[in-house]
A and B are shown apart, each in its own frame.
Chain A
């Protein structure tokens, strides 16, 4: 691998930017220009970079896939099986492009929801004060690329004290091969608001393509958000994703991310507890097989006192698949009385499966409670014996325990039909005979 190839790759991507960013909105034009600038000064990360030491993305160099063009004849009935029945508001993006005919926005009085460009003139100041403010691209080439190509995207803005009961579904559908799509989401929760967001990446066919997504979430004081993220891309796809979350005073963020798809995936989740008494719960499940690689990097950054974070990440790895988890917890000098716990549990179902897990605690305050633990291994013999002693065969016992290992995370998804659907997925992928 060499730097020249990487530089060429990025140049190649940027050249595909045929039309100049629109100059009519100077702040957005400037944001994109800065991002383009930053892309040209960076290179693709390699395994020599500490943050990428377990995840080799060198094969990306051979895939300088151009941005997708809007080209979709999808009808509502083609995506019916992807719909979540509890949902009222659904935004659908096909290969990164907003599809008004597949989307349903029923409730546009209680909140602002829709495609970003629609709001550039009506909500300019809100957008300007949030978009690109959380997902920094100075040291992240993928966020820089996403920002450089920023065009369509989901905007969800929950006004003060609004409680949106029905979950909002953001459905990102891949239909074209050998393209790159750049999904973008912005969720702004004003003080005291409450929302449940489903961010869902699916493919309608098997094939190679790249998804480079960026999600930004800002919760003001006492705002609550539940964020369910499901990555079920084609198993030949690359999925590179960044999510940045900013939490104000006593706000509460609950994330459940489920990783099932992609040949190679990388999910960076950065949560900053920027004011006192903020809380976050970060749960993750990676369930992969064959030769898949799934890398989850999280950073929970406690900047102010009395914050709480709880994290549980689980991986079930079969065949020759490889899961990576890097969970950093930062407790800054002022963040006294932080209460933080992290657990990374990993189950290897075959001799060739691999897990690299790295809990990383950096604590600079002296009066905090932080616990963490990591396990990698097979099923516990005592647990198998317990089930056998109740009449289950060894295979049945193993299957039940493997299912339960994944189902524990799935059970925290607060949307019943989605939870049941994912329980069936876990069941079908954990049973051997």
Chain B
């Protein structure tokens, strides 16, 4: 929700990034305030997933210009784990599998690492078990989920639910969901969206990176941004997503001069 008493969580100015010498992000400006849900839409190759990974600190990308402030800190100076501990969370498009490590071990390790850094109490396996089972109800997950190896043999929907479960455990200030809707059937999509909606509150913020409007039927954004060739070329409200759905991305190319910058 947009709230006049909100504080700025993320401020991106003129961000440029390249990989192997090829520039992918060509000057991105974006401000995200507490309580807000932003959607970043665009075709494959527009740079939206790169933007998500750059914010999380992926080392393959070189920052060639611009600045990013996260809760008043210079985000670009921080290694990825410190960004996570500071409250930034990226839900992966393709979560990795870690055969040999039980999901519950991994979840507790991540939780305790972040808790420790925040000066809060760590949980032993029994305490954690109670805590995580409570959070799993949000996402309608079966208990055997905890004993299986991390993401190994999980369906697409289970992997995405596991990402949202981590988000629920780590309680980030800013969650970035990279194509979380891809590969989900409608039931899984509803469950995931419901989880995200329950985690969203007036003091945190969410960025949804998505190709399709479908997810936005269930998680209603305050702002919709359209990316093209490494830039945000258009920003609007939730109705912009519907417009895109009916008119296609080609319509943007033709109209970006006149419509861009409607909403700050």
Q: For residue B154, give the distance in angstroms from its CB to the closest CB of chain A.
A: 14
Q: For residue A386, give the distance in angstroms from its CB to the closest CB of chain B.
A: 5
Stretch at the interface among A184-192, A266-274, A397-405: A397-405
Query: Cβ of A352 < 8 Å from any Cβ of B?
Result: no
Name 27 A/B residue pairs within 8 A (Cβ), A-sorted: A380-B96, A385-B58, A386-B92, A388-B57, A388-B84, A389-B56, A389-B80, A389-B81, A389-B83, A389-B84, A389-B90, A390-B114, A391-B84, A392-B109, A394-B79, A396-B109, A400-B101, A400-B106, A400-B109, A403-B100, A404-B98, A404-B99, A406-B100, A408-B99, A408-B100, A410-B100, A411-B149
Q: For residue B127, give the distance in angstroms from its CB to the closest CB of chain A.
A: 19
Query: Cβ of B60 < 8 Å from any Cβ of A?
Result: yes
Choose one: A389, A390, A407; the contact of B57 (CB below 8 Å). A389
Choose one: A388, A394, A403; the contact of B101 (CB below 8 Å). A403
In the bound complex, residues from chain B placing their C-beta under 8 Å from that of A26 are none
Choose one: A381, A396, A397, A407; the contact of B100 (CB below 8 Å). A407
Query: Cβ of B138 < 8 Å from any Cβ of A?
Result: no
Please tell me if the beta carbons of A381 and B60 are within 8 angstroms of each other in the complex.
yes
In the bound complex, residues from chain B placing their C-beta under 8 Å from that of A409 are 100
Query: Cβ of A393 < 8 Å from any Cβ of B?
Result: yes
Given contacts A390-B113, A390-B114, A406-B100, 9 further A-B contacts (CB under 8 A): A383-B96, A385-B57, A385-B59, A391-B113, A391-B114, A392-B81, A408-B100, A409-B100, A411-B149
Choose one: A382, A391, A404; the contact of B117 (CB below 8 Å). A391
Interface residues of A in 391-433 (CB under 8 A from B): 391-394, 396-397, 400-401, 403-411
Interface residues of B in 57-87 (CB under 8 A from A): 57-60, 79-81, 83-85
Q: For residue B84, give the distance in angstroms from its CB to the closest CB of chain A.
A: 4
Q: Which of A385, A391, A407 neighbours the largest number of chain B CB atoms within 10 Å of its CB? A: A391
Interface residues of B in 107-152 (CB under 8 A from A): 109-110, 113-114, 117, 149
Q: How far is the CA of A408 from the CA of B117 in the complex (A)?
A: 30
Please tell me if the beta carbons of B84 and A411 are within 8 angstroms of each other in the complex.
no
Q: For residue A402, give the distance in angstroms from its CB to the closest CB of chain B.
A: 10
Q: For residue A345, give the distance in angstroms from its CB to the closest CB of chain B.
A: 11
> Assuming the A-B contacts A396-B113, A403-B101, A404-B101, are A391 and B96 also in contact, with contact meaning beta carbons closer than 8 angstroms in the complex?
no
Choose one: A381, A390, A392, A403; the contact of B166 (CB below 8 Å). A390
Which of A's residues lie within 8 Å of B, judged by CB? 380-383, 385-386, 388-394, 396-397, 400-401, 403-411
Query: Cβ of B95 < 8 Å from any Cβ of A?
Result: yes
Interface residues of B in 24-41 (CB under 8 A from A): none
Q: How far is the CA of A400 from the CA of B96 in the complex (A)?
A: 13
Q: For residue A99, give the distance in angstroms from its CB to the closest CB of chain B.
A: 36
Q: How far is the CA of A328 from the CA of B232 in the complex (A)?
A: 55
Please tell me if the beta carbons of A394 and B81 are within 8 angstroms of each other in the complex.
yes
Q: For residue B104, give the distance in angstroms from its CB to the closest CB of chain A.
A: 14
In the bound complex, residues from chain A placing their C-beta under 8 Å from that of B80 are 385, 388-389
Q: How far is the CA of A405 from the CA of B97 in the complex (A)?
A: 11
Which of B's residues lie within 8 Å of A, judged by CB? 56-60, 79-81, 83-85, 89-90, 92, 95-96, 98-101, 106, 109-110, 113-114, 117, 149, 166, 170
Q: For residue A288, give the distance in angstroms from its CB to the closest CB of chain B.
A: 18
In the bound complex, residues from chain B placing their C-beta under 8 Å from that of A389 are 56-57, 80-81, 83-84, 89-90, 92
Q: For residue B223, give the distance in angstroms from its CB to the closest CB of chain A.
A: 24
> Assuming the A-B contacts A407-B100, A410-B100, A411-B100, are A392 and B92 also in contact, with contact meaning beta carbons closer than 8 angstroms in the complex?
no
Q: How far is the CA of A403 from the CA of B99 in the complex (A)?
A: 10
Please tell me if the beta carbons of B170 and A390 are within 8 angstroms of each other in the complex.
yes
Please tell me if the beta carbons of B81 and A393 are within 8 angstroms of each other in the complex.
yes
Please tell me if the beta carbons of A392 and B57 are within 8 angstroms of each other in the complex.
no
In the bound complex, residues from chain A placing their C-beta under 8 Å from that of B79 are 388, 394
The 8 closest A-B CB pairs, nearest first, are A407-B100, A408-B100, A404-B100, A388-B80, A390-B110, A391-B84, A408-B99, A391-B113
Q: Which of A383, A385, A396 neighbours the largest number of chain B CB atoms within 10 Å of its CB? A: A385
In the bound complex, residues from chain A placing their C-beta under 8 Å from that of B170 are 390-391
CB closest residue in chain B, given A426: B100
CB closest residue in chain B, given A405: B100
Q: How far is the CA of A391 from the CA of B171 in the complex (A)?
A: 12
In the bound complex, residues from chain B placing their C-beta under 8 Å from that of A394 are 79, 81
Q: How far is the CA of A350 from the CA of B113 in the complex (A)?
A: 27
Q: How far is the CA of A411 from the CA of B110 in the complex (A)?
A: 22
Q: How far is the CA of A406 from the CA of B101 in the complex (A)?
A: 10
In the bound complex, residues from chain A placing their C-beta under 8 Å from that of B99 are 404, 408, 411
CB closest residue in chain B, given A407: B100
In the bound complex, residues from chain A placing their C-beta under 8 Å from that of B89 are 389
CB closest residue in chain A, given B112: A391
Q: For residue B60, give the distance in angstroms from its CB to the closest CB of chain A.
A: 7
Q: For residue B161, give the distance in angstroms from its CB to the closest CB of chain A.
A: 16
Please tell me if the beta carbons of A383 and B98 are within 8 angstroms of each other in the complex.
yes
